[in-house]
Amino acid sequence: MGMTSPFLQPDSVAVHAGRDDLAALGVHALPIDLSSTNPLPDIELGGLSYESMATGGAPHPEGGAVYARLWNPTVARLESALARLEHTPEAVAFASGMAALTAAVLAMTAEGRRHVVAVRPMYGGTDHLLGSGLLGAEVTYCDPDGIRAALRPGATALVVLETPANPTLDLVDIRAAVDAADGVPVLVDNTFATPVLQNPADLGAALVLHSATKYLGGHGDVVAGVIACGSEHAAALRRVRAVTGALLHPLGAYLVHRGLATLPIRVRAQQEGAARVAAWLGGHPDVVDVHYPELGDLVGPGRQMRGTGAMLAVRLRGGYAQAQQVTSAVRLFTHAVSLGGVDSLIQHPAALTHRPVPPEARPSADLLRLSIGLEDPRDLIADLARGLGAGVSGAVTGVREEAGAGAA
C-alpha cells in the first residue's frame, strides 16, 4: 500500500501526504525550492507554461516553473497534503489566511454576482474585511438560521461561516447551512477544528479555509493560509493568486507541511488539556460562563465535529477590569493574539482581534479567549488561578493537586 493509498488512516496521511515524489528525488526530508525565477527550455514552452500557471493551471510538463509568483514545488507539496487531509481534489496555499479569504471572495464574485452572506459570529478580521467594501462585494450578515432569508437569487456568490466560531465557540450545522444556501457555494473556516476533528467538504462545503498560521503550522513561526476545494474553484483561486502575488513563500510552505505530520497528535493532546482546563474554570466563582463545545448532536464520535477541540473562552464576573488583571498576572500563558500553537495563549478579543467589528457584533468586554497548548493542564490551571486572584502559595498548590487527581 503506497503513500497515496486512499485507505490510509488520517494519522498516516498527516505524516506521508505530499511526499510522494521524495524517493525519486533521492531525499527523505522535505526540500525547499527558494528559486524566484527558473531557466526556460525555450521561448514557446516557457510561454505555454507561463500561460498555464497564470490562468490557474500547473506548469507545462516541459516548460518549467518560470516564476515563483505563479507556482512553487514546495508549496504544491503542501497543497497536495492538505487536500488529502480535507478530502478534496485540490488545495491552494496563500501568504496568509486573510489573503486566502480575499482570493476566495474575488474569485467567487468574478462572474458578476457581488453579494456575500456572512454568518456571525466569526473571526474579527474576516468580519472587518467583508464589511469594508474593499473587495467590491455587498455583504449581508446573519445568524445560521437566517442564511436562506439573506440570499439574493442571481446575486449571491458565496456564504461564509466559521465553526466553531471565533471567539465564542458557537457551532454551526454545516450540512444544514449548505442546504439553506440552496446551491450557493459555502466557505467554511475550519481553523479551530482542523481536519483532525472536522471535514466540512464531506458535509457539502465548497471551500474549506484554514489560517495555517494556527494549528496546521502549530509552532507560532509561520503565517500562511490554505483553501481546500474542488478543481474548478482551485483554478479560479490560483488565477487570483497569480495576479495578486499572494503565493505562500516556500519556507512558510515547508514549515506548515512539516507541522502536518504532528497535527493529529498535537490536536488530541491539546484537546485533552483544554477539557480539563474548561472543567476547572466552570467551577470557579469568578467565571460567569465557559464557552467550550459540548458533546451532542454536532460534537462527538461520528458527528460533524469529532471532538471538542482545544479552544475555549470565558466570561469573567469582574468584567473588563478582571480581564486586564488575568492577562497581566498569568506567566505560563502568553498574552498574545493567534492560537493553535504548542504553547498556550490568552487574549481579549473585543480589544484586539475583534476591535474593528461593529459594536453590535463585537464580543463582550468580560470575555477572554484561551488557546490551550501542550503544557501540563495542572500547570495551566495553577497559572489561571494566579491570574484570577488565587495566587498565594497554598491556594495554587491546592489547585494543582485537585487538577492532578487521577492524572499520570
Residue 171's identity, in one-letter code, is L
User: Could you tell me the CA-to-CA distances from 138 to 34, 102, 206 in Å, in that order?
Assistant: 39, 14, 20
Which residue is listed with cell 495555517?
A: 212
Which has the closest alpha carbon to 368: 386, 382, 387?
387
Residue 207 in grid coordinates? 471551500
69 catalytic, yes or no? yes
Element (H, E) at 367: strand 367-371
Give the rounded distance of the alpha carbon of 273 from its chain centre. Answer: 20
Beta bridge pairs of residue 117: 140, 159
Q: Give the length of the chain.
A: 408
Q: Are 202 and 318 in contact (CB under 8 A)?
A: no
Q: What are the residues whose beta carbons fall under 8 Å from the beta carbon of 124, sequence distance 6 or more?
A: 166, 349, 353, 354, 355, 356, 357
Which has the closest alpha carbon to 54: 43, 45, 66, 62?
66
Q: Are 121 and 165 in contact (CB under 8 A)?
A: yes
Q: Write phi, then psi, for 189 (nearest 5 degrees).
A: -80, 115
Query: Which is the catalytic residue, given 189, 215, 241, 383?
Result: 189
123 catalytic, yes or no? yes
Which has the closest alpha carbon to 345: 288, 263, 277?
277
Query: Which is the catalytic residue, given 120, 214, 362, 378?
Result: 214
* Distance, CA of 94 to CA of 53 (rounded, Å): 15
* Distance, CA of 275 to CA of 294 (rounded, Å): 10
Residue 390's identity, in one-letter code, is A
Q: Are 222 and 252 in contact (CB under 8 A)?
A: yes
Query: Which is the catalytic residue, given 20, 69, 175, 179?
Result: 69
Task: Name the DSSP class of 299.
Answer: B
* Distance, CA of 229 to CA of 338 (rounded, Å): 24
67 catalytic, yes or no? no
Residue 8 neighbours by CB distance under 10 Å: 17
Q: Write phi, then psi, for 295 (nearest 5 degrees).
A: -60, 135
Query: Which is the catalytic residue, given 67, 123, 215, 254?
Result: 123
Query: Which residues carry out catalysis?
Result: 69, 123, 189, 214
